[in-house]
Structure 1
């Protein structure tokens, strides 16, 4: 990798710009639970915030197998998709676990299958930075320039910082997704038997959705300091009790 310190130019990102980018990434991903949605936000924010970068993509592997891509422009999705072949800067970055840079694709001899496709789409420079997410998923953040020799050492530093920050944020997204899935499984289990009957009663009485009815039961259990199932049994018993004529 060529890290010679060239004369600073307008495209070179400063500390304040990079800090603002990291804040924007955090704000954009902090509450997301869907991994694909998080990737879409990541590539969009990176494309819009990094000067000199025209397009951005993300390549991911899950358990060693291609696990999808995200692209700021759909026309470029194929450049990030490992199902089109492992001959790419992204795969090299993932395999070597270090940043890969091609400042001028017109003079690039690596990736003989990938590079012509990139050139046809107007790509003239690329930075691919590895992203460590968790024990199952790894990836690469790919920054594309539409002109040669505009990707400076400042861009390389920014790519490294964004990749590290994105890894932490994406790991949190996957944790939230797992927690949401587990909560959904718990709720589904709760809806069996008497709790499910009680939920049905509340839905009928209030005209609400199942999750809202379950929350009513939970609030009652908390207020009364008794188990959820006991609250459900009391409600079902009350409704089932014959009225005096």
Structure 2
């Protein structure tokens, strides 16, 4: 890091600001079950919450390959996207497993391909902090400044805390995403089942609701009656199929 040129007294960030950021991140991501949506929320909330940070980005790798990118401003997304080259602060942070950055990119000798592009886009300072998510996905959160020396050791400390907290939140998002995908797979299998699919069709017709909602109604009935889902479906189909007396 090249951020040690500022004295602590000049640092704009404090404990309350950092705590507010982490609290807002938790509130924004606690119920999200889509990883890309979570990344978009993370970079937006971080950008808005931190004084001196003009933009925020996130770089993600899954099993060593580019797996996602998010940018608080779309035009800067190229700076976080490893498909355009591994020469970047984000990749260095991920590779070294430690924070890297520069308070002033003017004359910065590292990242010779990335730095000119960053400066052309208006970036004058950067901090990239590695984020451990789970055994498959790792990443880096990237803070960008529009003015040289705007990023201080206070931002460095905040970035460390942000990376740790974001890793936990994103791991939970990934877990919810996996569970949601498994539930959807199970639902598709149930809907393909003859009698359950028929029962769902009956409920959809009766209530005018989509298949997932109809399946939830069927599950609710099975739970309240304490009988298997298939038996509830068979009873319903049998009832509607029974000829009515004239």
- TM band (smaller chain): over 0.9
Residue of structure 2 equivalent to 1:215? 216
The Cα offsets for residues 95-129 of structure 1, whole Å up to 9 and x where unpaired, read as 00000011110031011111100111111110000
1:18 correspondence with 2:23 = no
Asked if the contact 1:11/1:52 (under 8 Å) is kept, the reply is no
- Alpha carbons 2:11, 2:153 under 8 Å: kept: no
Correspondence 1:159-238 to 2 at 5 A: 159-191=159-191, 192-238=193-239
What is the alpha-carbon distance in structure 1 between the residues aligned to residue 149 and residue 5 of structure 2? 13
State how far apart, in whole Å, the 2-side matches of 1:139 and 1:31 are: 21
Secondary structure at the residue paired with 1:107? coil
Q: Secondary structure at the match of 1:105?
A: coil
**Residue in structure 1 matched with residue 132 of structure 2 by the alignment:** 132
Q: Which runs of 5+ in 1 are unaligned?
A: none
Distance 2:161 2:189 in 1: 43
> Once superposed, what is the RMSD of the aligned Cα atoms?
1.4
- Whole-angstrom distance in 1 between the partners of 2:242 and 2:225: 21
Between 89-98 and 66-75, report the one with greater CA deviation: 66-75
> Distance in 1 between the 2:38 and 2:89 partners?
22
Return the TM-score normalized by structure 2: 0.96
Q: Secondary structure at the match of 1:58?
A: strand
Contact 1:11 1:150 in 2 (8 A): no
Superposed, which structure 2 residues align to 1:103-118 within 5 Å?
A: 103-118=103-118
Look up the match of 1:72: 72
Please say if 1:39 is aligned against 2:39. Answer: yes
Structure 2 unaligned segments of length 5 or more: list them: none
Which runs of structure 1 show a deviation greater than 2 angstroms over 4 or more consecutive aligned residues? 1-12
Alpha-carbon offset, residue 141 of structure 1: 0.5
Aligned 1:87-106 pairs, distance under 5 A: 87-106=87-106
Distance 1:215 1:197 in 2: 14
Q: What is the total number of aligned residue pairs between the two structures?
A: 245
| Equivalent pair of 2:123/2:147 in contact (CA under 8 Å) | yes
